[in-house]
Amino acid sequence: MLRSRSPTPSALVVPTRPSFSRRCNVDGKYVIASDHGGLELKEAISNFLKEMGIDLVDLGTLNDDSVDYPDYGVRAARAVSLGEADKGILICGTGIGMSIVANKFPGIRAALVTDEFTAQMSKEHNNANILVMGGRVLTAEQACKMVKVWLETKFEGGRHQRRLDKIAGLEDDIRSGSV
């Protein structure tokens, strides 16, 4: 059974200041963007990250007027793809649209996550450089926990790097027209 779990206003309260383990890797510049469906969750996550002292640039949207998610997904994905930002977070209603947009860019590994385990695996095995979430699917508390896990998790490398190298090679082949 499918059901929408729209966050209630009380669910949008930002959790208390996180205590990170020593393995937390939060250096670098981060970008965040959403459409109208992810605005409230984006604001909660932004506050959470700013409390941690993370260098965060908000690329919009800035109000709840209806907007097109590709316009905002492009901003963040382009910034990460071009090296203007190290990592990004994207939020739309379900996260699906933002994932599709972000993964069109070279070098982007955008992962739509639904819980703490998928957030961990997105970094540990896939070295996701953009985390994507659904603003109409998650509460602020759930989302902030997933962001925390993603930030704390390190990429394992090894066999996972070999797989990412294959994906990078595929991107090169697509750009050159050989696929």
- Give CA–CA dist 101/115, Å, rounded: 21
Determine whether 92 is an active site residue: yes
Number of Cβ within 10 Å of residue 57's Cβ equals 16
Q: How far is CA 112 from CA 17, 79, 92, 109, 179, in A?
A: 25, 18, 11, 10, 26
The DSSP bridge partners found for residue 110 are 130
Task: Pick the catalytic residue from 24, 125, 144, 160.
Answer: 125
Report whether 135 contacts 115 (CB < 8 A).
no
Distance of CA 150 to the CA centre of its chain: 9
Report whether 40 contacts 143 (CB < 8 A).
no
Cis peptide before 61 (omega within 30 of 0): yes
Number of Cβ within 10 Å of residue 140's Cβ equals 25
Determine whether 24 is an active site residue: no
Q: Give the residue numbers annotated as catalytic, written as ranges.
A: 92, 125
